[in-house]
């Protein structure tokens, strides 16, 4: 794990990830957008329009305004690409429902990761405080702000501010979610031991539409745009920029949740993710998971779990970048 034990008690996180990108003096890895919880991994979703707190706590927290209880959550995920297993990446969060219209929370989660590059691993984590407030019964806003840090060969970067803003709009069974995020710029003073590296990570905008058919069936669509034209890598004061085509910066997914979280729920999704390399490559994902109440007759109500698996790179060899991901999650409402 990249991050040390001092972060563990405060819902810590750990990470490493990577992918090849610009062959300068050294080969600097690229990255994928992370799935920070098992529930979101099972949906192949970024959580922009997910109402279940197991997903919205790490995605669009504006949907938490309808949550009247406090929340503690922890999630862990890892990846496999024959014959290697990635480190375990941990996400953690807490939420306080202050009133019917305002809530506060903290969360630590991976933003960009790459586990199986040809040369080095990459990870970017953020530790945010957030607040959400309900404007009226239909519209809620949320603001997230906190430091982020990246890990590459030779150490960790300087910290940078990660800021994101989200909106949730709900009317009867329809809902709309919007998420805007800027992960910041990072500096490595001793990259590979002696190199000077600066990099700006891409901003992203995510739009989602959801519909609850009934108490047992919910579906959602998401579309995402990463602003890779805004990225920049500066190695030893030599700036590198790749003119990626705009059309390659879009991705999206379709997800289904079948059943009720109070008993048992099947979650599944298919999507397209973008991996940053010398070109932006589209990889298709398919996922399946289960979530529900954790032994309510033993522990009582308010304990939930999620277990999910995802195949990233359908019909692609693992030597060409495919991997299998798995995650588990526990959440407690009180």
Mind listing the pLDDT tens digit for each residue in 187-222?
Answer: 999 888 888 899 999 999 999 999 999 999 999 999
Residue holding tokens 């290697």?
Answer: 84
Domain boundaries, the chain: 5-333
The CA distance from 159 to 151, in Å, is 11
| Helices then strands, each counted (H, E), the chain | 3, 23
The CA distance from 54 to 73, in Å, is 8
The CA distance from 213 to 190, in Å, is 54
Mean pLDDT of 268-292: 91
Mean pLDDT of 43-66: 96
Strand order across the beta sheet in which 232-235 lies: 185-191, 195-200, 232-235, 238-240
The CA distance from 104 to 18, in Å, is 33
Residue 11's H or E segment, with its range, is: none
The rounded mean pLDDT for the chain is: 88
| Partners of 250 in the β-ladder | 225
Least confident of 11-15, 65-69, 219-223: 11-15
pLDDT at 161 over 60: yes
The CA distance from 37 to 248, in Å, is 26
How far is residue 24 from each of residues 102, 135, 151, 165, 281, measured CA to CA in Å?
Answer: 49, 50, 19, 35, 20
Least confident of 131-135, 202-206, 241-245, 306-310: 241-245
Q: 7 or 205, which is more confident?
A: 205
pLDDT at 243 over 90: no
- Give the model's confidence band at 14: pLDDT under 50 very low, under 70 low, under 90 confident, else very high: very low
The CA distance from 293 to 299, in Å, is 10
Specify the pLDDT at position 27.
Answer: 52
* Nearest partner of 294 among 94, 73, 61, judged by Cα: 73
pLDDT at 325 over 70: yes
Residue 318's H or E segment, with its range, is: none
Using the CB atoms, write b or e for 194-231: b if 16+ within 10 Å.
ebebbbbbbbbebbbbbebeeeeebebebebbbebeeb
The answer to whether residues 156 and 2 touch, using CB atoms and an 8 Å cutoff, is yes
Largest Cα–Cα distance of the chain, in whole Å? 62
Mean pLDDT of 144-153: 94
Specify the pLDDT at position 332.
Answer: 97
The CA distance from 195 to 207, in Å, is 38
CA distance between the termini of the chain: 31
Specify the pLDDT at position 22.
Answer: 36
Mean pLDDT of 69-90: 94
pLDDT at 13 over 80: no
pLDDT at 6 over 50: no
Q: Which fold has domain 5-333?
A: Porin (2.40.160)
Ranges 66-70, 239-243, 268-272, 292-296, most confident:
268-272
- Give the model's confidence band at 244: pLDDT under 50 very low, under 70 low, under 90 confident, else very high: confident
Mean pLDDT of 29-51: 94
Specify the pLDDT at position 93.
Answer: 98
pLDDT at 11 over 70: no
pLDDT at 31 over 90: no
- Give the model's confidence band at 112: pLDDT under 50 very low, under 70 low, under 90 confident, else very high: very high
How far is residue 146 from each of residues 114, 131, 199, 202, measured CA to CA in Å?
Answer: 22, 12, 18, 17
pLDDT at 295 over 50: yes
- Give the model's confidence band at 118: pLDDT under 50 very low, under 70 low, under 90 confident, else very high: low
pTM of the model: 0.89
Specify the pLDDT at position 254.
Answer: 98
pLDDT at 246 over 80: yes
């Amino acid at each position: 794990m990249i991050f040390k034990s001092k972060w563990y008690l405060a819902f810590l996180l750990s990470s490493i990830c990577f992918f090849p990108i610009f062959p300068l003096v050294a080969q600097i890895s690229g990255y994928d957008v992370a799935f920070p919880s098992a529930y979101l991994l099972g949906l192949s979703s970024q959580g922009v329009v997910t109402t279940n707190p197991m997903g919205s706590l790490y995605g669009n927290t504006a949907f938490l305004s309808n949550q009247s209880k406090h929340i503690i959550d922890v999630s862990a995920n890892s990846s496999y690409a024959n014959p290697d297993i990635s480190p375990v990446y941990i996400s953690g969060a807490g939420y306080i429902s202050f009133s019917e219209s305002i809530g506060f929370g903290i969360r630590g989660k991976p933003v960009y990761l790459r586990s199986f590059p040809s040369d080095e691993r990459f990870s970017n984590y953020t530790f945010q405080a957030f607040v959400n407030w309900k404007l009226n019964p239909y519209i809620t806003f949320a603001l997230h702000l906190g430091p982020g840090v990246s890990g590459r060969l030779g150490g960790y970067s300087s910290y940078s501010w990660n800021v994101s803003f989200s909106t949730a709009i709900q009317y009867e069974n329809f809902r709309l979610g919007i998420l805007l995020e800027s992960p910041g710029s990072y500096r490595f003073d001793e990259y590979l031991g002696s190199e000077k590296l600066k990099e700006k990570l891409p901003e992203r905008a995510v739009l989602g539409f959801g519909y609850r058919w009934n108490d047992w069936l919910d579906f959602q669509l998401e579309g995402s745009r990463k602003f890779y034209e805004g990225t920049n890598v500066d190695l030893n004061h030599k700036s590198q920029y790749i003119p990626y085509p705009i059309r390659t910066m879009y991705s999206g997914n379709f997800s289904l949740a079948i059943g009720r979280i109070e008993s048992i729920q099947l979650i599944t999704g298919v999507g397209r993710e973008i991996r940053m390399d010398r070109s932006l490559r589209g990889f298709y994902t398919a996922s399946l998971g289960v979530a529900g109440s954790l032994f309510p007759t033993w522990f009582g109500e308010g304990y939930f779990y999620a277990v999910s698996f995802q195949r990233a790179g359908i019909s692609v060899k693992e030597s060409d970048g495919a991997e299998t991901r798995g995650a588990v999650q526990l959440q407690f409402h009180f």
